[in-house]
Amino acid sequence: MPPTPPRKSVPKDRFPTFFSTLKTQTYHDPSTRGHGSHTIRTIAWNPTGHLIATGSADRTLRIWNPEKPQVKNSTELRGHNGAIERVAWNPIKEAELASVSSDGTCRFWDVRSKTCIATVQLGGEGLTLGWANDGSLALAGRKDDTLIPIYVNFDSPPVAGTPLPQSLQTNQTLFNPVGAPTTLLLTTGDGSVKICPWPPPAPTAGTMNGGSSHSTNPTAPPSRSSTPAPPTASSLQTLHTLHAHTSACVSLALSPTSRYLAIGGSDALISLYDTHDWICRRTLSSLSGSVKSVSFSWDGSYVIGGSDEGTGIDIAHAETGETVARIETSAPAPCVSWHPNGKYWIAYSGDSGGLRIVGAAGGG
């Protein structure tokens, strides 16, 4: 399905009036497995914005058509035996989804055939997930702060590379396509974001476990005929460190224009960094608790954050930091996500009833 041609951006002075006309649609999932168990932990739009995935604490993984809110028009993907911690779509395949779970697996799905096409064992409970921009790699993270690169080939099943243990709490990873080579951004528990080259350089002689002089890339896909190389003591190098927050960094989002990096912290702040010089240009302080998710509008003009404390979602203008609109909610909304392709729709979790999408019911 070809992408929808982007509409013109709505300027800051007109945005409040425009956004107030958008109507909210609720998507109720009846498959709740017990009282209070259907907490949505992750949401993600596919690259075209024609589908949206939700993953919940009760193992429910569902694909919704935002224009058809009835559950009969959705698809439930079954296979995980634990909470769905993160879902992410292949950036170059609109129907390929990956999901990580506390059951210790990363699963790959073809949503058209409603089937799991591959399962990769992570060796521990899954927590984070991100795709490289060319769709060739999915990077899963475990709750013990170990990263697992998963190589995705067109002609063979996904295969896990050597684990990359991190010395600090790692809540989210993000590949940055700006510049060369590609870099990997990692949030850390000490309030910083590490910018690392990807792929990591191969270790030199003497750096392998046991002092082996054999040189190999710790993140290269393992050969089907050989044993994967053991991880190195220092698996990722740091090009630059952003000292963004006074407590743990929790969430990351890069604007579609690649101009700004939004960093959400457990200190209830969102910092906006200019990617040209990595200087913090402004800080948003309207949230009440830890910033569990951050998201930019399709044109990069507006930014939002989701928290598991307080109510309401404030929409800020990225260039000025001004709050231009607000979504009133009856409960905290930890998961928030703008539509990726030409619409100022906002999907969020938290309110009773499940997923809600501002704009999907009309207006604008």
| pLDDT(216) > 70 | no
DSSP state of 361: T
| pTM of the predicted model as reported, rounded to 2 decimal places | 0.89
Q: What is the pLDDT of residue 200?
A: 82
Kind plus residue range of the DSSP H or E element containing 294 = strand 291-296
| Position 331 pLDDT exceeds 60 | yes
pLDDT-wise least confident of 183-197, 208-222, 233-247: 208-222
Mind listing the pLDDT tens digit for each residue in 268-318?
999 999 999 999 999 999 999 999 999 999 999 999 999 999 999 999 999
| Chain position carrying tokens 């082996």 | 212
Residue 229 has pLDDT above 90, yes or no: no
Task: Please compute the mean of the pLDDT values over residues 234-261 and round it to a whole number.
Answer: 92
The Cβ-side half-sphere exposure at 151, using a 13 Å CA radius, reads 16
Token digits of residue 66: 């935002």
User: With 60 as the cut, is the pLDDT of residue 204 above it?
Assistant: no
Q: Which pLDDT value is given to residue 350?
A: 80
pLDDT at 346: 98
Q: Does 215 have pLDDT greater than 70?
A: no
Q: Find tokens 């993140």 and name the residue.
A: 219
Q: Any idea what DSSP says for residue 104?
A: S
pLDDT score at 210: 35
pLDDT at 108: 98
Q: In the chain, pLDDT over 70 holds for what percent of residues?
A: 85
Tell me: pLDDT of 36 over 60: no
In this predicted structure, the answer to whether residue 37 has a pLDDT above a threshold of 60 is no
How confident is residue 19, by pLDDT bands cut at 50, 70 and 90? very high
Q: Phi, psi (5° rounding) for residue 73? A: -95, 5
pLDDT at 178 over 80: no
Average pLDDT over residues 109-132: 97
User: What's the mean per-residue pLDDT of the chain?
Assistant: 88
Is residue 163 very low, low, confident or very high in pLDDT (cuts 50, 70, 90)?
very high
Mean pLDDT of 64-92: 95
Q: What is the pLDDT of residue 213?
A: 31
Q: Is the pLDDT of residue 226 over 50?
A: no
C-alpha distances in Å from residue 229, one per residue of 193, 202, 208, 213: 28, 11, 9, 12
Query: What DSSP designation does 2 have?
Result: P
Q: Which pLDDT does position 123 carry in this prediction?
A: 97
Q: With beta carbons less than 8 A apart as the criterion, state whether 357 and 344 touch.
A: no
How much is the pLDDT for 156?
Answer: 85
pLDDT at position 181 is 59
